[in-house]
Amino acid sequence: MVGSSGRIIADRVGWARSFRERSKGLIGRPPLGDGEALVLEPGSQVHTWRMAYPIDVVFCDRDWNVRHIVRSMAPRRMSKFVLGSRYVIELPAGAVPQELEPGTQLKVVDQPGG
């Protein structure tokens, strides 16, 4: 995943597409490392219940335009519902660059399943 500035946001991306995969998300997993991300599809809201570490969260529409960002979402929280969101990208806390903001379009290379 690459931001409009050309900066790589994540180069090792997991995908959660089934209900079960999306429900589990990062729960019970060790924290993501540098360059790692988990994309939940479809998604418009996330929670960090039963998580022990904060994460950055980026909500994008179906064209990968950023709609909302939550930086360092603490454990035991729920995000707002983001209308129009299709993808939710979960990243390590602090991984979302400051220049990334709503309206930025991300480029996704080798998206599995189209």
Judged by average pLDDT, the poorest of 4-13, 24-33, 65-74 is 4-13
Quick check: is 46 in a domain?
yes
CA angle 16, 39, 112 (to 5 degrees): 75
pLDDT at 113: 59
Quick check: is 27 in a domain?
yes
Quick check: is 59 in a domain?
yes
pTM of the model: 0.92
Range of the domain at 20: 12-92
Distance CA 109, CA 100 (A): 18
Mean pLDDT over 66-86 rounds to 97
Phi first, then psi: give them for residue 92, nearest 5 degrees. Answer: -60, 145
Partners of 40 in the β-ladder: 16, 88
Give the pair of three-digit tokens for residue 34: 């540098």
Residue 82: count other Cβ atoms within 10 Å of its Cβ: 21
Q: How many domains does the chain have?
A: 1
Give the pair of three-digit tokens for residue 87: 């993808």
